[in-house]
């Protein structure tokens, strides 16, 4: 599930493969960038911001007279959403990550080939203008700007919103997706339909979300239980009708906003103000 930790991991893979390298060939397979040629550009770094991936580049600068000038900094932005991925291959290695028709961009360098599959919102813009795409985001749970007090403040600004929807709103805190939303709420014993204003300990919930993402940083198996064994990595997420690991009650699955949510009706008792389903 591409959530904040997955994007963080992906950024590190691209950084190790490309940072400092000069691009020898680029192939964009999206209409808005189809004629873009990054040959000769240098990859400065790869970074993540919540669920957004930022590949920062230097384009060789030229003065109006054609003389060399300071490099111009650009950012290739992409969003993984639910199904996007980047893979790095050695030159000549077979690209086996996804079907070829899902490829959206290929970046060749002397030491590696980076292939982006089913990427969304791809944009090439000056690095100085990155805030146009990510400036609205709340504090990044895995970023150097992480500020738990600011995340709590943003959540508390919308007391009537359900906590399940508020945790997914990237303007509040950047990096939580559906998996971590469900797991954090279970571990805190809070129903997804509880209004933010009725959540007893918002700072504790925010702190737990950050700890879970940080614990999974650097590995691809996402676990909230501490186990990395298949079928044992979550308490409620993806476990509809299976017994709760705490009380044995069947886990439920239901729509909440535009996403589904999983919860235990005993360990996470419904808030009295929950609207009627449907």
Contact at 8 Å (CB) between 158 and 136? no
Answer yes or no: is pLDDT of 192 > 60. Answer: yes
Sign of CA dihedral 151, 157, 159, 162: negative
- Token pair belonging to 246: 């705490």
| Catalytic residue, candidates 148, 195, 259, 265 | 259
Q: Assess whether 276 carries a catalytic annotation.
A: no
In the chain, what is the straight-line distance between the N-terminal and C-terminal CA atoms, in Å? 27
Q: Please give the Cα distance from 166 to 230 (Å, whole number).
A: 29
Would you state the pLDDT for residue 278?
A: 42
Query: 3-state DSSP helix/strand/coil percent for the chain, to nearest 5?
Result: 25, 25, 45
Catalytic residue among 51, 56, 104, 188: 51
d(CA 116, CA 86): 4
Active site residue 121: no
Model pLDDT for residues 10-27, shown as the tens digit of each residue: 999 999 999 999 999 999
Q: Do 9 and 220 touch, CB atoms closer than 8 A?
A: yes
Distance (Å, whole) CA 78 – CA 124: 9
The verdict on whether 51 is a catalytic residue reads yes
Q: What is the pLDDT of residue 204?
A: 97
Does the pTM exceed 0.95? Answer: no
Decide if 156 contacts 196 (C-beta within 8 A). yes
Q: Are 154 and 173 in contact (CB under 8 A)?
A: yes
**259 belongs to the catalytic site:** yes
């Amino acid at each position: 599930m591409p959530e904040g930790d997955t994007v963080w991991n992906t950024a590190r893979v691209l950084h190790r493969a490309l940072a400092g390298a000069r691009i020898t060939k680029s192939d964009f397979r999206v209409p808005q960038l189809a004629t873009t040629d990054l040959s000769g550009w240098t990859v400065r770094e790869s970074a993540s911001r919540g669920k957004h991936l930022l590949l920062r580049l230097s384009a060789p600068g030229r003065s109006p007279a054609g003389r060399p000038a300071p490099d111009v900094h650009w950012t290739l932005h992409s969003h993984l959403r639910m199904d996007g991925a980047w893979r790095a291959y050695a030159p000549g290695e077979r690209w086996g990550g996804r079907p070829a028709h899902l490829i959206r961009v290929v970046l060749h360098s002397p030491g590696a080939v980076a292939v982006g599959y089913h990427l969304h919102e791809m944009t090439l813009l000056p690095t100085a203008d990155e805030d146009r795409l990510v400036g609205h985001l709340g504090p990044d749970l895995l970023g150097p700007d992480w500020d738990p007090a600011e995340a709590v403040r943003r959540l508390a600004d919308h007391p009537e919103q359900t906590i399940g929807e508020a945790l997914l709103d990237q303007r509040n805190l950047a990096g939580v997706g559906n998996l971590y939303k469900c797991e954090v709420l279970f571990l805190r014993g809070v129903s997804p339909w509880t209004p933010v204003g009725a959540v007893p300990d918002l700072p504790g919930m925010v702190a737990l979300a950050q700890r879970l993402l940080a614990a999974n940083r650097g590995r691809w198996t996402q676990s909230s239980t501490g186990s990395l064994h298949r079928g044992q990595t979550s308490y409620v997420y993806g476990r509809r009708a299976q017994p709760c690991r705490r009380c044995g009650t069947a886990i439920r699955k239901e729509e909440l906003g535009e996403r589904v949510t999983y919860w235990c009706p005993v360990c996470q008792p419904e808030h009295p103000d929950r609207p009627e389903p449907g």
